[in-house]
Amino acid sequence: MTDEKRINIETGKPDVGAMVVRGTVGLIPVLGPILGEIITHFIPNQRQDRISDYIQRLDVQLSDLHEQIVREKMKDASAIDLFEEGGFQSARALSDKRRDEVSALVAYGIRGEDKERIEAKRLLLLFREVDDDQIVILCSYLRRYQQDEMFQERHRHILDPFVAHLGSDDEEFDRATMYELSKQQLCSLGLLSTSFKSIRKGEIPEFDSNTGMMKASYTQISPLGRLLLRRVGLADDNDY
């Protein structure tokens, strides 16, 4: 994208495209009038439709709150910061589902007080590090999705990865490698946790041939992983 096609954030001068979006967003009840001015200062032109969709989804999430309550909450700098981060992520989101999840997390923060907004911002930044396939992998560790045959079938290409062997070609090795990378990243982010069996004296631990590290005996979703899924609307307390 060229500089001419991007909204000038430093000068704050909105372009015609941003003004059109602001007018459209202004028609959305509750959040539209409140946020119409904010969005003109940071939205890239080519992603304005995604931002509009994000705001509509956020509006639905907050529709049970009185407009004046939302207006007061949006005067808080941390609420605006949270909304903007959600906007940036939604502008990059390729699916409606992803924007739904972002809006659920942002709405949680806006509804709450300082504690909830801080939590929501931290989780939103964490959510930015996880792609859609990794969210599917994370969900697969919950009881709800383990018992959901449609979920298992729809995401079989993600959840039943090919296990590489000596006779595998490069494509098969790549597929297995990327699956392991996805899980390793979820572990490094603290969203999955691994357990290792106790090694008795004289025993040699088993090592993973792909990572070179000690092989885990059990992998499960962590408390942080469960919290993230709850806040984006993909889990509840009965799923563990």
Residue 176, pLDDT score: 78
Q: Between 210 and 5, name the one with better pLDDT.
A: 210
Residue 239, pLDDT score: 72
Contact 178, 170 (CB under 8 A): no
What is the C-alpha to C-alpha distance for residues 130 and 147, in angstroms, rounded to an integer? 24
b/e 87-107 (16+ beta carbons within 10 angstroms → b): bbbbbebeeeebbbbbbbbbb
What is the arithmetic mean of pLDDT over 137-145? 93
What is the C-alpha to C-alpha distance for residues 23 and 35, in angstroms, rounded to an integer? 11
Q: Is 12 left (phi over 0), alpha (psi -120 to 50) or beta?
A: left
Residue 6, pLDDT score: 35
Written as six digits, the tokens of 143 are 């009881």
Report CA torsion sign: 24, 120, 225, 182.
positive
What is the C-alpha to C-alpha distance for residues 230 and 105, in angstroms, rounded to an integer? 9
Residue 153, pLDDT score: 93
Q: For residue 66, is pLDDT > 50? A: yes
pTM comes to 0.74
Q: For residue 28, is pLDDT > 80? A: no
Q: Between 190 and 203, name the one with better pLDDT.
A: 190
Domain ranges of the chain: 3-127, 132-239
E strands, the chain, are: 192-195, 218-221
What is the C-alpha to C-alpha distance for residues 81 and 114, in angstroms, rounded to an integer? 12
Identify the band that residue 34 occupies on the pLDDT scale cut at 50, 70 and 90.
low
Residue 10, pLDDT score: 38
E strands, 170-215, are: 192-195
Pairing relationship of beta strands 192-195 and 218-221 according to DSSP bridges: antiparallel
